[in-house]
Structure 1
Amino acid sequence: MIIQEISIAGSGNMAFYLARVFKRNNILVKKIISRNIDEVKRLAKICDAEYFSIDKVRDIEETLVLAVSDTAIEEVCEQLLQKIARKKFQSLLHTAGSTSIDVLEKFTDYPGVFYPFQTLKKDEEQVSSNIPIFIETRDAAYLEAVKKIANSISSNVYEMNSEDRKYLHLAAVFACNFSNHMYTLANEICNEISVDFSVMHHLIKKTIENAVELGPDKAQTGPAARGDSVVMNDHLNLLREMGKYDDIYKKISESIQGLIGKE
């Protein structure tokens, strides 16, 4: 089995990333399909593809990559099948981290997952070729075809089943989304004393560097890690004066101490 052409459904961050890397690596994108006609025009221009709103699509013979939200996967498939008057798609790939491959099985005999493991922005033109990509299919020949596409855009391609991928996505939420939320809280605290958040930049970069080089367990520092209850109580009093976040500070400190206690 060979994937000769691809179409992309979606117009968000993932769709823009895929359009750019497919174009850069000479993978033919035939169609871009989306409800957002302005964004779909931008996408089509990036990868020299035709563009359609969902209600204007007439046929999809190529592999369709669903670069849409987890909750929109089934809805988009159902809408497109109605428009193209087919019972099933030739082959499908979704890009969602926490959604099982099973969601595609009623729409195609060749379901698959193509999950780039990175936080993405649609206007980010330069993207690393080392972004991990996790793939899954039900068919061995289709797996090799999907793997070939993945290997052409990344040097880090892994096979992973849907259950394990849910845990991977969960870990990503802690490492990426929750950590960024902590930066938001830090920014709010800086604003309390009229200090620009830029003073935190070197600290953040060094913290990430240490976590990558040493491992997060060995890189852990701070009052909770060293059991400094005086400083921790002082911090909690400051947060109570602010009227927020003392519960978060306490829970995270307890978590740090609990993990250190297990070492």
Structure 2
Amino acid sequence: MPQVPAADVNQNGVFRRTTNNITEGGTTDNYQVNYHGQTIAHMDTWCHFFENGQMYNGVPVKGNLAAETGCAKGSVMNWKDGVFTRAVLYDIAQLKGVDWVEPGTPIRRADLEAWEQKAGVKAGPGDVVLLYVGRWKRRAAVGPWTGEVAGYYADTLPWMHERMPAFIGHDVNIDWNPRPGWEGMRNPIHVAVLNWMGINIVECLDLEQAVATARKLNRYEFLISFAPLPVEGGTGSPLNPLAIF
């Protein structure tokens, strides 16, 4: 499931590579990645979002987070040894009989449960839930994505709490958008998942190859492995997850 470096929103500065001095003996290069956002496959961890001055488990932001040192608690270092667990794919595009789910469509609890009935899978504790709406397939067909998201709706939150996966995943940002009636809230699904439940997030994943294999095999659960960059104090990390069938 490789990341796709082509930007859709806020292109400038998403990824920059500079090749240094080229000599007869070789060269080096520098990478600069602004991975949080809507384009780069990445992980969000507990110190990425706050509510009322607190992180998950009531950890106060004040005294725990500084510009110079990042997060003292709740950083990506909690995952530095990597993730090796079961992934459960929720192919909502197939469920709805479309190539992709149109941006702005809320994905509801009923959709997740209908897919479980159809595919015979069910996410549980420790799993990685992967929601597929065909974001990258749509991009290849009709052009850059503009900001609206077919993402998890608010009524999926009790479902997440009941299942308690280790990660909630998506091929876009996990929050549905636009959110009529919720305009004053910044990414409410992020806040609920990270701050209320302690579930981490993997998003903007390119799931196309995994989906094609899952459909061919008619198997929607498989091994997933990924490891973040072990950045002290980091709020997340770019990722390149591997799906093993």
In the superposition, the TM-score normalised over structure 1's length comes to 0.28
**Higher RCO by CA contacts (8 Å cutoff, separation 6 or greater):** 2
Task: Compare the two structures and name the one with the higher helix fraction.
Answer: 1
**Computing the radius of gyration over CA atoms, which structure comes out larger, 1 or 2?**
1
In the superposition, the TM-score normalised over structure 2's length comes to 0.30
Task: Compare the two structures and name the one with the higher strand fraction.
Answer: 2
